[in-house]
Amino acid sequence: MGLLDPTPPPYDPLQWVELPLEERGRQVCEAWALQGYGAPLPVYVAYALKVLGYVAAWGFFCSFTPGLGGVSDVAQWWLHPIAFQKAIVFSLFFEVLGLGCGSGPLTGRYLPPLGGFLSFLRPGTTKLPFLPRVPLIGSDRRTVLDVILYAALLVFLVRALIAPTPGFEHFLPIVVLVPVLGVLDTTTFLAARAEHYWVTVVCFAFATDWIAGAMAVQLALWFFAGVSKLNHHFPTVVGVMTSNGPFTRAAWVRKLMYRRYPDDLRPSTLATVMGHAGTAMELGVPLVFLLTPLGTPPVVAIVLMLMLHTYITSNVPMGVPLEWNVAVVYGGFALFWAHPDVSLLSLGPSWLAAFVVTMTLVLPIVGNLRPDLVSFLLSMRYYAGNWPYSVWFIRKDAVKKLQKLTTSSPWIYDQLAHFYERGTAIGMVGKVMGFRLMHLHGRLLPHLVPKTVERLQDYEWLDGELIAGLTLGWNFGDGHLHQEQLLESLQRQCGFEEGEVRCVFVESQPIHVQTLAWRIVDAKTGRLAQGTTRIEALRAHQAWSTGKA
């Protein structure tokens, strides 16, 4: 193996891809359990260097403020309010460029290793307007107006970053442009991690005490991330993440995550206990921060926060929200440690308080009760394993029709062809199938795929995340980005015949309902089937089992 070669799966990928579904699923799940995605160690090193670059760039922009930015005296200024403001603005800039979440090989991006601005600055690329078909703002292909407004956002973000003391006049254009771009393309709004960074910038612009608003946002992030794990999905996340972690590569460690490798790959008691402990910690962090008396340094809460985010970041989860985790940890220090005397009630105008409550409380509650209506990011349902997802089946002789699209990235196998031979590429893309099946919601697929296509071997199996990355320029676990709206757009552009593209769409589980809703859709003829499946039935099955669900 070369330094950049992935860990080869314990089967011949060229033979594996011709196997029946159940056997293919069993082999790839066994491989994932011990190998994870199999990315070579230099990939993890590259991600670590990217995080260091993110921190260094923040320091560079802080240096435009007199008294901030010097490496030698960083201990004197790193918790300064302006340093925090620039951290939030820079993080928004970093993410909306496509440099953060959803970048690099662990998200199916090889050449180029990111999308973001490569798509958002290119007219003709596919987008998802909030109001489809509405004149001027409802086109499903990027227009010159989209590009100009996106470029304007980048300019105003840089303007705020290089300002010695950013103020209302710097924040207001950002406050306006992010939602305007969201109306033109929901992908851009989500890529900006608007539920965190944009809401905080609104507080910078309008709050009497913006620190109180930023605290409210951060407490909501932790709290609802914990609420989202109050389900049967999260123990499977623990196993999937541990099996892919760079520091848990020993086979005996990974086997501990499963009941009885290789025969029973459901979560072990240890994985389940770890899941419950993680949920308790994520709920506990905001609670301890809130219960710490005003004026008292929140030592216990900071320790819990560091334990939580160190565990998440060290596992380098697929989707790689590494810089976001760094920003959250920094916020814990810059807000709660540096300003323990600030009350959440000091936010300011009543209309702003209503806005913050809507974004940090109302939307997440609605998103948990009706996940079909709200993005899992706006619902703050992070890492829970309970995401909407899709799997696309594209007949092999129809793949060439995707060349009609204007994209910033080539077909996934064309990207990989620059680095690996065909068998290795199939093995790598095939591992994504294992990733999906190993989550609780993925156990639906062995029952739905036979309803979707007659002969699986005639089709390319691609997770919707890879489709979104190719066509939209950004992907980060939100299955709403690659459901019917995207399928209809691609159908208009590519003109698929009946049976050439079939999709399985699975919605998140509502917090109060013990079922998953699913749909099977043909690109040309529309919906073929739909239904719901009980969570309890899925828990009884192996990931690859085609038994009745």
pTM exceeds 0.85: yes
Of the CA atoms within 13 Å of residue 427, those in its CB half-sphere come to: 23
Mean pLDDT, rounded, for 137-147: 97
Inter-CA distances, 364 with 47, 217, 230, 375, 445, Å: 30, 12, 14, 9, 28
Question: Alpha-carbon dihedral of residues 6, 56, 298, 384, nearest 10 degrees?
Answer: -30
Mean pLDDT, rounded, for 395-406: 97
Inter-CA distances, 206 with 107, 219, 488, Å: 36, 20, 40
Lay out the sheet containing 526-534: strands in order across. Answer: 459-463, 389-395, 501-506, 515-522, 526-534
**pLDDT tens track for 410-452:** 999 999 999 999 999 999 999 999 999 999 999 999 999 999 9
Dihedrals phi, psi of 527, to nearest 5 degrees = -70, 130
| pLDDT at residue 549, rounded to an integer | 54
**pLDDT tens track for 224-261:** 999 999 999 999 999 999 999 999 999 999 999 999 99
| pLDDT at residue 546, rounded to an integer | 81
Report the largest interatomic distance among the alpha carbons of the chain, rounded to a whole angstrom.
67
Please give the helix or strand (H or E) that residue 505 lies within, else none.
strand 501-506
Q: Is the pLDDT of residue 150 over 90?
A: yes
Q: Is the pLDDT of residue 547 over 90?
A: no
Q: Is the pLDDT of residue 119 over 60?
A: yes
| pLDDT at residue 8, rounded to an integer | 94
| pLDDT at residue 2, rounded to an integer | 59
Domain ranges of the chain: 13-38+383-539, 41-228+276-369
**Mean pLDDT of all residues in the chain?**
96
Q: Is the pLDDT of residue 301 over 80?
A: yes
Q: Is the pLDDT of residue 3 over 80?
A: no
Mean pLDDT, rounded, for 503-509: 98
Contact 228, 381 (CB under 8 A): yes
Parallel, antiparallel or unpaired: strands 501-506 and 526-534: unpaired
**pLDDT tens track for 439-490:** 999 999 999 999 999 999 999 999 999 999 999 999 998 999 999 999 999 9
Mean pLDDT, rounded, for 521-529: 98
SS3 544: coil
